[in-house]
Chain A
Amino acid sequence: MAIDIKGVLAPLGAIGTLFKHPKTVTYPEVKKDIPIGYRGFHINNLETCIGCASCEEICMNDAIDMIHPDKEYNPKNTSGCVPRIDYGRCCWCSLCTDVCPPGSLKLDNICIHADKDPDNFLYMPKNLKNIGENK
């Protein structure tokens, strides 16, 4: 029976990778750059939000509720309500940001959150104007 010399010796070339630099990113000392445009958490510019509830109507998981904010930010807000999102149901499809008429609801590029309390999943979007300001 012929011995397959190439098949026995060629895999031993993999030992060379022992001496190369590893490709693992040593999180949390080194953090990876997440690009702008990644679908992360929501931000909502309360000065331009008009409370039209288009986001609530298109959300296909029924994750958005309209509630009264703590004070009035925009006198042109027709219903006096702003969106609050249930992060147990949201799937980050960004349909709500595509349909928002004044363009106030956006998706930021942060995505890391940890909490010890399992009942703490209702999220009020931060009041920011642009993506990338939240650090």
Chain B
Amino acid sequence: MSDLKNTIKIFHGPQHPGITGNMSVELDLLGETIKRAQTHVGYLHRGFEKLIERRTVVQAFTIVCRICVPEPDPNEENFARAVENLTGLEISDKAKYIRTMVLEMQRLATMFLWMGGQAGSIGLGLIPQWSICDRDYMLDLFEELTGGRVYHMYAFPGGVRRDLPNGFIDKLSELLDYYEKRIAVYNDTFFDNAIFKKRAMGIGVVKADEVLKNAYIGQVMRGCGIKKDVRKDMPYLVYDRLDFEIPIQQEGDVYARALVRRDEMLQSIRILRQIIKQMPKEGEILQKIPKHRKFKLPANDTYVQTESARGAMSYYMAGDGSEKIRRMQVRGPSLIHAYTLLEKLLVNAQLADVAMIMNSLGICPPEIER
């Protein structure tokens, strides 16, 4: 290719402050402009899909949460819902409300982590210090509820594993008031900051007419003006009883996606306040299921989708009549964003913007290669 004649090849290596995992991009540079980019993964391959084929349903539920490191709860929810679809289990209202509450709490915690990454990748070191501290208060609540800070192992097929502790709802309300004040401070320091606007507007533009065909999902889709969300189109748990909106922007660049995420944080706080009001006091926490060697899955397959903080995550699960799971395949939102979209967006971009673009697409390497 004559384009690549005088270029230098560098490795934008697996250790980088702007991303939440290990992934590298091989770049061909002419000066500081990128002429070609190739993604390489493989640093985090742990072989989950093969591990799950040897284990029964109860044993596999404990390792599913480790597939995506910054955001474990949509994985547990998908697994529980797929098993319930295959075996026909029904869960009680209270369990549905608790699972929805846990999903929205996880969405808030992940958005704070994203904000730290996005600001850190352009050199604004103040925001990661603040946002990791604010995320820690949410992890303290998770520690009380589930017994673990990051890996909860809480949403079980048939309900949830433990009941709400005493005084939990009041602590959650206080934390939501605190977060609303903090988001106003982040608006002043980060989202309205002249430096961030100058660096982020017009970079990494995604065109709206190729989004649906190429399956770009999450904030990439909503930053281009397409108003779609799994919680509204194919509602699951109790989302059809709650009142919330889907924020969109029109430009499709890095700044538009950041504004969409900030508005989604405010909508999450609104959803959590409604759940606190509507939560039923009585209800069965966990349905009775047979012992773990006798819990057999029928010879059928199913496909479930959940809206995570970065887009729609899907699971394909198949059983074969025995107590072991025949096949479980994970399709996270980052696989397509990291390969098809990133390699296209980086052509004719500047070297200093690579980390910012990677972080704004919401790429999480652990779920690309499981």
Query: Could you tell me the distance between the alpha carbons of A77 and B261 in the complex, rounded to whole angstroms?
Result: 58
Question: Is there contact, CB below 8 Å, between B59 and A7?
Answer: no
Question: Is there contact, CB below 8 Å, between B194 and A94?
Answer: no
Question: Is there contact, CB below 8 Å, between B193 and A58?
Answer: no
- A121 at the A/B interface (Cβ < 8 Å)? no
Query: Could you tell me the distance between the alpha carbons of A14 and B192 in the complex, rounded to whole angstroms?
Result: 13
Query: Could you tell me the distance between the alpha carbons of A103 and B162 in the complex, rounded to whole angstroms?
Result: 16
Residues of chain B contacted by A8 (CB below 8 angstroms): 194
Within 8 A of A (CB), among B168-206: 185, 188-190, 192-194, 197
Query: A60 is contacted by which of B63, B193, B194 (Cβ under 8 Å)?
Result: B63
0 or 1 for each of B132-167: is its CB under 8 Å from A? (1 = yes): 010000000001100110000100000000100100
CB within 8 Å for A10 and B188 given contacts A4-B194, A37-B165, A93-B62: yes
Residues of chain A contacted by B44 (CB below 8 angstroms): none
- A75 at the A/B interface (Cβ < 8 Å)? no
What is the count of residue pairs linking A and B with beta-carbon distances less than 8 angstroms?
56
0 or 1 for each of B118-139: is its CB under 8 Å from A? (1 = yes): 0000000010000001000000
Within 8 A of B (CB), among A50-84: 58, 60
By DSSP majority rule, is chain B's interface helix, strand, loop, or mixed?
helix
How far does the Cβ of B155 sit from chain A's closest Cβ, in whole Å?
14
Closest chain B residue to A10 by CB distance?
A: B188
Closest chain A residue to B147 by CB distance?
A: A39
Question: Is there contact, CB below 8 Å, between B165 and A39?
Answer: no
How far does the Cβ of A122 sit from chain B's closest Cβ, in whole Å?
21
- B336 at the A/B interface (Cβ < 8 Å)? no
Question: Is there contact, CB below 8 Å, between A23 and B133?
Answer: yes
Query: Could you tell me the distance between the alpha carbons of A23 and B126 in the complex, rounded to whole angstroms?
Result: 14
How far does the Cβ of A7 sit from chain B's closest Cβ, in whole Å?
3
A-B contact pairs, 20 of them (CB 8 A): A4-B194, A6-B192, A7-B193, A10-B188, A10-B189, A11-B188, A13-B185, A14-B188, A34-B143, A35-B144, A37-B162, A38-B148, A39-B147, A58-B58, A91-B62, A91-B63, A92-B148, A93-B153, A95-B62, A99-B292
**Residues of chain B at the chain A interface (Cβ within 8 Å):** 55, 58-60, 62-63, 126, 133, 143-144, 147-148, 153, 162, 165, 185, 188-190, 192-194, 197, 292
Assuming A6-B192, A93-B62, what are 12 further A-B pairs, CB within 8 angstroms? Answer: A10-B192, A11-B188, A11-B190, A11-B193, A13-B188, A14-B189, A35-B143, A37-B147, A37-B165, A58-B58, A60-B59, A93-B153
Closest 9 CB pairs of A and B: A7-B194, A60-B59, A93-B62, A10-B188, A39-B147, A4-B194, A11-B189, A8-B194, A11-B193
**Residues of chain A at the chain B interface (Cβ within 8 Å):** 4, 6-8, 10-11, 13-14, 23, 34-35, 37-39, 58, 60, 91-95, 99, 107
